Structure 1
Amino acid sequence: MKMWILAICLFFQINLDAQKNDTLYFYSNHDYKIEAKDTAECFTKQFKTGDRWVRYKYRIKDIGMYMCDIDENSDSTFTKLNGMHIGYQLGVLYDSGYYKNGVRDGIWHFYYPGTRQPGMIAHFKEDKPMSFQCFSEDGSPKRENCYYEREADYPGGLSAWLDYIGRNVGRVLSRNQKTLRKIGEGQYQAHIQFVVDSQGKIIDVSVRKSSGHETLDQYALEIITKSKNWIPAVQYGRLVKAYRIQPISFQIVEYR
């Protein structure tokens, strides 16, 4: 009887050891390069289920811990994904589909934030979209304004945007001649970073690279901030934010 109990205990111990060997935990950067806990961006749990491997990646930096990705693969290296993928942004369901030899292949769903309703269902072959269908948030098919991807754009296009900037640079220079004399003649350029939100509004305007003069930086910020609404970007049938950096040049000549 004691031998049977010992055999049963050994059986369960062997299985527990096998489960431990088939489960990995590590800290890493976003690309799975292993890092120390204090500097890591992500925490990953990787385990085997049947003949497949599954990997859960969590973001642990900045705003707490939240899900990033769930991936399935045929081996533990995950060098080329072959299997299911579920993606999250800030812990919110983003997309799902299948990889084959490291690229998207087959049917993919791209979801509206915070829902399980896809804004687009696309069919991929070797990472190329072969066909796609857009949907409204209520699930009804959407035929108008159905884009796989579309960049954010100023109404009238690039030429209209550059014309807007040119006219407003001239305006701020002509109304502030006394201040400009203190800066001195020369050519100055500020790089302004901003976001076009999903409704086309300009938000989060900031100086990415200074002109060297705070006054000119403020003029550049004013020009971008006062822009009218843009046509928002589209990705996978959904309106999304777009990030932009715009250089603005000021040519100051001596006033006499």
Structure 2
Amino acid sequence: MKFFYTTLIISFIGLLPLPAQNIDSLFITSEGRISTDSVYKYKRLIKEIEGFGYSVKDFDTKGKLYLRCYFMAHKRYKYDILDFVNLKKSHPKKTIKLNAAITTYPNDTTSKKSFYDDGVLIKEKVVYSTYYASGILKTKRVYENGIKVEDNIFPEDLESGPTFFIVDKMPEYPGGEEGFVSDIQAALVYPKEAIKKKIQGIVYVEFVVNTKGELVEPKIKQSVHPLIDNEALRIVKTTKKWIPGKSYGRLAKVRYSVPVVFKLPSSH
């Protein structure tokens, strides 16, 4: 449920009902205090998003985006600019009444998701990421309420990485699952010898969809008889190229197991 809840919030932000409107700007020091336009570390723009909450963006002295944050506020919340001075503090009950805050730091490759109950912080998830010069994800560390729950190091060569059974974004076949089944059925040629010997059943074929979307390493996972096993392998190899899967935003190899059904007509 927690993954669905997080995804729901992120998706909702991407579909905000109305454009945000500027309501305030602040000049902030590196210590998180209010400053002037002559001496400051970041310029903070605060926008109100009707029916949602507030958007906050920090820009450095060169105008480059440093931080982007969204706050989902209760309807009863009354705007106070002081609530947006120190964003790294957990907002106590006496200030902004938040449901959730989603923060990203583009320059530091850090993101933070905070969840509140009537303004009181109940859960916080922070993700630290680093990247190779090629832009491919190198490391990812995840903390929940200050406790490390994930620490991953990824090779730059995608094909040398691990093979997964489940990833964030699974590989997609042209036409989806129905398209795959349709192509299998269209290509299937029931071996005459198997018909003669009344051989039927379900053959399970295992394979890997690599980072190029190619179907590789096909093999029989559950056999029925060599006559139909070989046909199952043959038709799986003839299928189209897939859209590769992704894990943590990286292309990933994913292992599949699919059933190929051989069923004789009742007359046999």
TM-score, normalised to structure 2, is: 0.41
Q: Larger helix proportion, structure 1 or 2?
A: 1
TM-score, normalised to structure 1, is: 0.42
